[in-house]
Amino acid sequence: MKSGYKYLKETFEKHEKSYETPEWYRAIKYRKGRSIQRIDKPTKIYRARELGYKAKQGYIVVRARIRKGGMHKIRPKGGRKNRAMGVSKYTTGKNLQWVAEERAQKKFPNLEVLNSYKIYSDGKHHYYEVILVDPYHPVIKSDPKINWICAPSHKRRVNRGKTSAGKKSRGLYKKGWGSEKTRTSIKAKKSRRN
C-alpha cells in the first residue's frame, strides 16, 4: 500500500517540462514572481514534511530565486600574466542553496530558517522553497518537537552554516579518510568547553 505522499513524490519525479504541463505553467509563474516570494503552502508537500514543516501557525514558506553559474569575471582587455587575470577559479565558497536561504533570512529577519529544498531550475535560475519558523510564536514555543529553535544558540543559524545546505557546503557530511581537517580540532573543542 502506498501513501498519498508517495504518489505526490512520483508526479514530481517525472520532471515533465513539455508544453502546457503543470510544471510548464508553474515555471511561468515563478519567473513572473519576485526573487523572494512568500507562498501560502509548499509546492512539494512531501519534501517539506520530511524537513520538518507542519501546517500550523508559526511556519512560513518562501520561494527563493537565485541565478545559476559560478562567479566568472569579464576577461580584462589589457595584457596580464595568466595568473593575474583574476578570471577563473573564483568561487563563493558556499553553495547556491545556502545563499538562497541567507537571502530569505535577510527578507524575514524575525524568523529562523529551518531547511530548504529545490523545486525547479531553468536556463538562468534555480528555485528553492525555504521553510522559516517564528521562534517567538506561542504555538512554536509550546511544541516540544520544534521549540529547540527558540533557544538563543540557534539565532541566525543559517548565517553560521547550521542548516543542511550549510553543513553540506562546509563539508561536514564527509566522513573518514580525507576529511580530517573539515571539523574543528580537538584542541579547539576543549577550549570551547571551558
Give, in words, the CATH class of 35-193.
Answer: alpha beta
Is residue 117 predicted with pLDDT exceeding 90?
yes
Is residue 5 predicted with pLDDT exceeding 70?
yes
Backbone torsion region of residue 129, taken as left when φ is above 0, otherwise alpha when ψ lies between -120 and 50, otherwise beta:
beta
Residue range 126-176, pLDDT digits in tens:
999 999 999 999 999 999 999 999 999 999 999 999 999 999 998 889 888
Is residue 71 predicted with pLDDT exceeding 70?
yes
User: pLDDT class for 192, splitting at 50, 70, 90?
Assistant: low
Write down the mean pLDDT value for the chain: 89
Q: What is the pLDDT of residue 39?
A: 95
Is residue 52 predicted with pLDDT exceeding 90?
yes
Q: Residue 118 carries which DSSP code?
A: E
Is residue 100 predicted with pLDDT exceeding 90?
yes
Question: What per-residue string of b and e applies to 100-120 under the rule 16 or more CB within 10 Å gives b?
Answer: bbbbbbebbeebbbbbbbebb
Question: Is the model more confident about 134 or about 80?
Answer: 134
Q: What is the residue extent of each domain of the chain?
A: 35-193
Q: Which percentage of the chain shows pLDDT scores above 70?
A: 96
Distance CA 90, CA 72 (A): 7
Distance CA 181, CA 170 (A): 11
Is residue 47 predicted with pLDDT exceeding 80?
yes
Is residue 189 predicted with pLDDT exceeding 70?
no
Is residue 57 predicted with pLDDT exceeding 90?
yes
Give the alpha-carbon dihedral of 102, 107, 112, 118, to 10 degrees.
-50
User: pLDDT class for 88, splitting at 50, 70, 90?
Assistant: confident
Amino acid at 98: W
* 76: CB partners within 8 A, 6+ apart: 85, 86, 87
